[in-house]
Structure 1
Amino acid sequence: MSDSTQPNANAVHQDTLPGLGAGRKESLHPAPEMPFGPSLLALAKAPGLGQKGLSDLVGCLGRDIGLLLEDDHIRTLATLQTAKIANAHRVAENLAQGRKDLIEKGRQEIERLAERTITLLSPEEIPPRLRALPDGPRWLFVQGNPEVLDDPPYIAVVGTRQPSQLGMKATEAVVRTMAAYPITLVSGLANGIDAAAHQVAVRDGVTNVAFLGHGINVVFPAETGGIRQRIVESGGAVVSEYLPDDHYKRHFFVARNRLQAGLSNIVVAAEGTASGGTAHTVRFAARYQRPTVGLQFDGAGNLAELVATQDTGEVVKIFDPAGRRHLDQRFRALCTDVGKPTNGLALVQHLLDREMKLRDIPRTDLEQLTARLRRLIEETS
């Protein structure tokens, strides 16, 4: 979403996450009976609390927010006041009066989410790369496989919602280069570059992580519903830090961009302008010291120029064979750095397996392929 506003960590929350590096004191009380997930969803429905209040409470209590749903009005009020919740007395009264109903609603909602393979990660369960951010998420809703959020390396491919034909081809070139290696694609499931990156990744066997700028129950834009389902079915994850039914807002998308940058080892800015929405991701990447690659080609816009001004940025001519090889070398080196095996012909093998399933391949065709491989081995020896 185009928006020239500078990325603002304070728009998400202002303090470092407690329990995630900011010294939340150990509770003097026993652990609450209510687990984190149903507690969060119960408190989300409490009148007078709101999104900010809920975030502040998680900041104060971490996974122990269920303490607020126990029958201890004095302690509840004291906790609300410690967390500097506005109208703490009124919120405490609302909790006291509606406690049983809230608890039942929280439990029912967490069960409905689980039926759709949606997991709610508590502060301590948030993946390390995101937990280490100064403005990281308080919690995460994950549809699909949450384990992919802690299995680097990650490369974000992001760009405009209104790409050119060359921009779409450039995006495909980047993802196909990734597909040879055990790399997970990160993007935002928006129309344009994001959707194209996810589609090519699913096609070529690349695992996907898609960050949403709205609640996990919302499908937006509607055109991405199919690719979202394929991401989940192929072992990837769709992720949101917003409450399940939260509708999309402009500042939600800006904040979402910080998670794309924060999780990634490299951010590839495929196409866009220095004043567009993708520029936020580039700036977040610079803030978090994530290497950024801007793609250069005819009509690419000036986003690559913004990337070039960043200390960790570089520009690659994606349709130049030398530029494509350079990108391949970076991706291979990234896998090596995190201890993942590399095979530059893994995509070729994937395509061969697919062709074998779709075609009636005679033995002679395989013999020709074998002969060609032998010649290539001799040429490289």
Structure 2
Amino acid sequence: MDVAASRVLTFTSEGTIYRDEQDDFGRSVRPEPVEGRAGWIKAPRQHGISLVTAGRCQENLGCDRIAAVIAKATDALGYWIALSQTPGLGAARFRLLESHFDGDLESAWKARRGELRAAGIGGGVVKAIVEGREKVSPDGELEKLYRSGVAALTWHDEEYPRRLKEIADAPPVLYCRGTLHPNDETSVAVVGTRRPTDYGYRITAELCAELAARGVVVVSGLALGIDARAHQATVDAGGRTIVALGNGLDMVYPRENQRLAERIVNEGGALVSEFPLGARPEASNFPRRNRIISGMTLGTLITEASETSGTRWTVYHALEQNREIFCVPGSVYSDASKLTNRLIREGAKLVCEVNDILVEIGLDAAVRQMAMAIDDSDGQQSRIAQDDAPDDPDEADLLRHITHEATHIDDLARLAGRPITEVSGLLTMLEIKGLVVQAGMMHYRLP
């Protein structure tokens, strides 16, 4: 077992710090107590020990020393978690508590009934908060996080997904196993039926591979069928994918996708959930989970879904969140395409290739520029070696616009300022000479 995969510091309310090592899926391997103070932080393995707290507190340290910087929100993280589990205490009421108690969630958790009512909280929710104190222990919640290797982010944390923070009913606390990145904003949700046809499997895999090649993060729900295919195709293509689950992160549902979930985390992706550890995958959780999928992304792609598919909930949430809707058309005789075909009639963007998505959300130029700026390991631009440049000046000119990231032929024509028919002929010659390869769906890249 690779015990050097990651290191975690956990701070208990008694003031004990545990220096720990975890396996690749975040499970505790060797806890060791050290001196310290209360709080909780996690150190991802990618950058030595990068201490990231739930209070926007971050400091990169060398592996030869242990240090901790704990922000105010981190000290109160247990109370955030405890309050977020209160039935009926949604985002709006949670903000009322924050405002009334000046961000001091410990005081809110311990407040008397009258103080809670003065904050604008109704009687039923006040009762639930008071009763919750006997069922939920803030310190106990932190300990459970430690044992499970799961991080908890509040909506004030820098690591909390920015687009998700923008929606009206953003979860106050988001649990995460794995790593979240700022570039996760460049993401698209891919969802659909649990019983796809071969056509649905194929087009999902092709589009997700193309999105991955363009540096777009794929977000889905790990369900059997289209969701799992989207995740699988993305990691197979070397891309990054995020899973939003409808249960606590101490388990994976469905169990059939346990290995896929582990691979996603091991290869730099993440599992996220608004549900606390121990929460079971109840049917009522999934419609709410779907708003996380759509809320984290620029738009939602439905590749195949029937009229009765749970995908409808993701569409409803995406529309409420003012996100784009993309649909792959299917046979009029196929029940599996009834929803997508109807949504296209009602105004959803028809998708036949990945550029239909990228153009609509303004990522075609941005992703292309990002790819062109990527340097190789020697610090040189990722271009074809000068010695291998073609003799034909037109071919050489077109080749200047091709990188290791797949680019659509239409984009190449615009970049080169040449007619599409001429570019097509030049690409054919470059492909024959082995200087470019077709990545599928009229996309070309360097070999």
Normalised to the residue count of structure 2, the TM-score between the two structures is 0.60
- Structure-1 separation of matches of 2:197 and 2:312: 17
Distance 1:154 1:107, change over 3 A: closer
User: Out of 344, 365, 369, which is 1:308 matched to?
Assistant: 344
**Residue identity opposite 1:124 in structure 2:** H
- Structure-2 separation of matches of 1:34 and 1:154: 28
User: Out of 170, 173, 176, which is 2:203 matched to?
Assistant: 170
User: Out of 332, 336, 344, which is 2:365 matched to?
Assistant: 336
- Structure-1 separation of matches of 2:406 and 2:327: 26
The offset of 1:331, in angstroms, is: 7.9
Partner of 2:318: 285
Query: 1:42 touches 1:107 (CA, 8 Å); kept in 2?
Result: no
Question: Do structure 1's residue 124 and structure 2's residue 153 form an aligned pair?
Answer: no
User: Out of 61, 65, 86, which is 2:124 matched to?
Assistant: 86
Output one character per residue of 1:118-174: Cα deviation in whole Å (capped at 9) or x when no partner: 2111121232211111222222101111225x5321111100111111110111111
**Which moved further from structure 2: 123-132 or 31-40?**
31-40
Partner of 2:94: 58
The offset of 1:274, in angstroms, is: 2.5
Distance 1:165 1:276, change over 3 A: same
Output one character per residue of 1:7-35: Cα deviation in whole Å (capped at 9) or x when no partner: xxxxxxxxxxxxxxxxxxxxxxxx97972
Indicate the SS of the match to 2:349. strand
**Which moved further from structure 2: 189-198 or 254-263?**
254-263
Indicate the SS of the match to 2:300. strand
- Structure-2 separation of matches of 1:375 and 1:229: 32
Query: 2:144 touches 2:277 (CA, 8 Å); kept in 1?
Result: no
Count of aligned pairs between the two proteins? 307
Distance 1:220 1:87, change over 3 A: closer
Unaligned runs of 5+ in 2: 1-70, 373-401, 408-429, 439-447
- Structure-2 separation of matches of 1:307 and 1:105: 46
Partner of 2:140: 105
The offset of 1:112, in angstroms, is: 2.1
Query: 2:190 touches 2:302 (CA, 8 Å); kept in 1?
Result: yes
Output one character per residue of 1:230-275: Cα deviation in whole Å (capped at 9) or x when no partner: 1111111111011211112222111111121122112110111123
Query: Whose strand fraction is larger, Structure 1's or Structure 2's?
Result: 2
The offset of 1:224, in angstroms, is: 1.0
- Structure-2 separation of matches of 1:169 and 1:243: 35
Distance 1:244 1:310, change over 3 A: farther
Question: Do structure 1's residue 243 and structure 2's residue 276 form an aligned pair?
Answer: yes
The offset of 1:187, in angstroms, is: 0.5
- Structure-1 separation of matches of 2:184 and 2:112: 39
Indicate the SS of the match to 1:108. helix
Query: 1:153 touches 1:335 (CA, 8 Å); kept in 2?
Result: no
Indicate the SS of the match to 2:371. coil
Indicate the SS of the match to 1:231. helix
Partner of 2:62: none
- Structure-1 separation of matches of 2:224 and 2:80: 31
Distance 1:228 1:165, change over 3 A: same
Query: 2:188 touches 2:216 (CA, 8 Å); kept in 1?
Result: yes
- Structure-2 separation of matches of 1:172 and 1:374: 22
Query: 2:205 touches 2:233 (CA, 8 Å); kept in 1?
Result: yes
Distance 1:168 1:120, change over 3 A: same
- Structure-2 separation of matches of 1:375 and 1:123: 44
Larger RCO: 1 or 2 (CA < 8 Å, sep 6+): 1
**Residue identity opposite 2:154 in structure 1:** S
**Which moved further from structure 2: 190-199 or 252-261?**
252-261
Partner of 1:372: 434
Question: Do structure 1's residue 39 and structure 2's residue 79 form an aligned pair?
Answer: yes
User: What is the RMSD of the two structures over their aligned residues, measured on CA atoms?
Assistant: 3.6
Indicate the SS of the match to 1:176. helix
The offset of 1:66, in angstroms, is: 1.7
**Residue identity opposite 1:231 in structure 2:** I
Indicate the SS of the match to 1:179. helix
The offset of 1:309, in angstroms, is: 4.1
Partner of 2:175: 141
User: Out of 249, 271, 275, which is 1:216 matched to?
Assistant: 249
Partner of 2:396: none
Query: 1:335 touches 1:341 (CA, 8 Å); kept in 2?
Result: no
Partner of 1:21: none
- Structure-1 separation of matches of 2:364 and 2:314: 22
**Residue identity opposite 2:145 in structure 1:** I
**Which moved further from structure 2: 78-87 or 257-266?**
78-87
Query: 1:267 touches 1:292 (CA, 8 Å); kept in 2?
Result: yes
- Structure-1 separation of matches of 2:277 and 2:317: 25
- Structure-1 separation of matches of 2:128 and 2:305: 47
Distance 1:105 1:330, change over 3 A: same
Normalised to the residue count of structure 1, the TM-score between the two structures is 0.69
Q: Alignment identity in percent? A: 25
The offset of 1:325, in angstroms, is: 6.4
Output one character per residue of 1:296-338: Cα deviation in whole Å (capped at 9) or x when no partner: 2343421222321444x1223xxxxxx3264376389515347
Query: 1:158 touches 1:194 (CA, 8 Å); kept in 2?
Result: yes
Question: Do structure 1's residue 207 and structure 2's residue 240 form an aligned pair?
Answer: yes
Distance 1:292 1:78, change over 3 A: same
Distance 1:215 1:309, change over 3 A: farther
The offset of 1:223, in angstroms, is: 0.7
